[in-house]
Amino acid sequence: MDNFEKYIIRQTANLKKQTIYYFLKEQKISEHYVKCLRNTSGTIILNGNTVSINHPIEENDVLEISKSPQKGSEIPECDGTLEIIYEDDDYIAVNKPHNLACIPTRKHLQNNLGGQVVKYMKNKDKNFVLRITNRLDRETAGIVVIAKNIDAFNKMNADKTYYAICEGNLDLSPFTIDKKIETISHNGINQMKRVISENGKTAVTHIFPVKNIDKNCLVKLKLETGRTHQIRVHMSSINHPLVGDTIYNENNKSHAYLLLKELSFTHFRSGKKIVLQVDFPSEWNMIENYLT
């Protein structure tokens, strides 16, 4: 069954109780996932028969559990062309353009990446749940990976490399920004703009300047932490804001020239290293002549 995860029961003597529930907990299946299996009929099959979560098990039993035991995401479907760069039974990776929100908001209810993915996946799995493993902010372009099941989501650990164009020239030696970032709240509502503050959370960005281009600089960046707007806040804090940034740059506002260009991860199922890359967006034509 394509929509079921298959297990061969082993080492039942090590379980607290020899039931499906305790076997799944030993597999580090989340309590939320187990709850969905428990509450949805037909999601647990043992040796070809539908059973309950507390059914006893024996060595070498064949267990199958639904990859989508919960109700599918109730996100409005959106029109749009997905640029799919990788897909298998567990993941789908797309190249997100600038100025496209990852998830629905009041301003982007009918135009967001999540709605496009849901429309694409509902033809394959009516119970599809949207699980974005690496959400990018609206202005940022590049690779977004969506897990097709909870196991894939929980076991994703990606290495990511960003590129950006910042204002001003930089010395081409690598350097690190280690400055805490705080989210400001007014009347209990978080503000969009983040600030550098000792009251914030630890944020570390490694910067590798690539090339000075006229009055700007192309930089490669690696993150130790993943704070909202981290790259945009950090580069602005050293007076080299990203070109086009609508929040942290007062000049030439269009969108931040920030791209998640490279992403790699070890596939939990095959052990194979998956390496994904995308081209610079067409809006980045200012750098083409400098990278040949």
- Residues designated as active site: 137
Q: 101-105 contacts: CB < 8 A, separation 24 or more?
A: 101/138, 102/132, 102/135, 102/136, 102/137, 102/138, 102/144, 103/75, 103/130, 103/132, 103/135, 104/75, 104/76
**Are 153 and 212 within 8 A, CB to CB?**
no
Q: What is the DSSP letter of 107?
A: S
Distance of CA 185 to the CA centre of its chain: 25
Helix (H, G, I), strand (E, B) or coil at 154: helix
User: Which stretches of 27-75 are DSSP H helices?
Assistant: 31-39
User: What phi and psi values does residue 20 have, to the nearest 5 degrees?
Assistant: -60, -40
Q: Write out the two tokens for 223.
A: 């993150």
CA distances from 238 to 41, 146, 163, 229 (A): 56, 33, 17, 15
